[in-house]
Amino acid sequence: MIKKIAANAHLFFIPEHYRTDEVIFRKCKVFINTTLVTSIFAFFFLGNAIMFKMPMALIAMIVCSILFFMFAWALKFGIPYKICTNSYIFLGVVATAWDAYFAGGLNSIHTPWFVFPAIGAILIGTIKEGRIWMMISVSVLMCFGIAAITGYVFPNELADEYKNYMALSGYAGLIIILFIVVLVVENAYLNSLKKLNTALDSLKKSQAQLIHQEKLASLGHLTAGIAHEIKNPLNFVNNFAQLSVELIDELETEQDIEARKEIFKDIKSNLGKIKQHGNRADFIVKSMLLHSRSGKSEYQETDINKICEEYLNLAYHGARAADKDFNCKLDKDLAPNLPFINCLAQDISRVILNLLSNAMYAVKGVNDPTVGISTSFDAKYVHIDVKDNGGGMTEDTKKKLFEPFYTTKPTGQGTGLGLSISFDIIKAHGGIIDLTSELNKGTTFRISLPIKK
């Protein structure tokens, strides 16, 4: 019940314009709840002052119980937050000094309370303000100390038999105040954490949407290449199927045993070639499906050479479909016995396609345009190099290249997400993506993927 009241009492007093900034809103909640509790605390000590016949303390408690409460209303009616908070802390220092003066000075039971204005300033203001108010409190204590050294006798209206009771009740009240403040801060922290998690979830959804858009953009580039690449194996399948049909017709009329064996051998060879080119068509279709899939794929042992070979052709024919005048030389140097690596084939193929497509865009308009891909390996990594002899990059471009939405292409021709996503994919695989580039000489991207033994 107490926690619920402490957590929601602020809503009545805090103006709307302070609720848009989470930090200020949290400080306002602490301020409002603290002023309300200290007002009640002062009212409680008002009774003690009457009971123990302490007229000066009675004056202080009447003023504090009213003004502490009024500071909350002042904030509600538009008085600036800084004025309200610093006035509240100032009154706290004055009230503490007043009570300490009339209860024996430096040796008063109220002396330890001088630390609380500084703590309050930090909670509802800034650390700098807390230091200022701490210096003010120390200055007041130094004045008490100097007065005591010079022989000044402070008035003491609190009888000795009541000092322990007053001390205990005072510290109990301070503990209650701190408890309420902790509850408010905790509630503010939990609300901030909840909003942060909501914002994080929204950011993750937006990121997923952007990644999917980049996948679709990549798929659009891939489709033209697929149309060309899939035509070749389908032609082979049709040709060998037709040839097999003719061989079967011939088999029906052939009586010679040896000749029939040769025909069966040719049919078997044709079926093997049909299977081979059917597998190639299947791989191309699967590549397209991998690119269009929005769900999660699984890590699997992957032949990097096979991906490099297929996607070099797909990227080339995709570039040709987009620009009929485009042409370039393709260099391929794939290391024999390249180790398979455990990876997300869908993601790695997307990275390779992106680098190859960028390379083919870079060589447009250069003499003897050449795009190459090569593989190699050492004890720890499989390396994939994508090289072009395009215009190269400036140092400034190289620094920004992997930043999201950065692109050197004209508006409408690039999303600026391809290399950023590629960087994240390789990093997620525990790999490295790097580049070397010289103006008017070309660029080489190197992907290094770890060999997991």
Per-residue model confidence (pLDDT) at position 181? 58
Residue entry with tokens 């950065």: 406
Give the mean model confidence (pLDDT) for residues 89-107. 82
Mean pLDDT on 147-155: 85
pLDDT of residue 376: 94
pLDDT at site 450: 92
Residue with tokens 């025909």, as numbered in its chain = 263
Average pLDDT over residues 344-368: 87
CATH architecture, domain defined by 298-453:
2-Layer Sandwich (3.30)
Measured in Å, how far apart are the chain's first and last C-alpha atoms?
59
Q: Does the pLDDT at position 352 exceed 80?
A: yes
Look at 287 and 29; give whichever has higher pLDDT. Answer: 29
Give residue-wise pLDDT tens across range 23-72. 777 777 777 777 777 777 777 777 767 776 777 777 877 887 788 788 88
Contact 320, 326 (CB under 8 A): yes
- Give the type of residue at 152: Y
- Cβ 49 vs Cβ 57: under 8 Å: yes
Query: CATH 3.30.565.10 spans which residues of the chain?
Result: 298-453
Q: What is the pLDDT of residue 432?
A: 92
* Cα 333 from Cα 79, distance rounded (Å): 75
Assessment of whether the complete model's pTM goes beyond 0.75: no
Position 445, amino acid? F
Over residues 299-318, the mean pLDDT reads 86
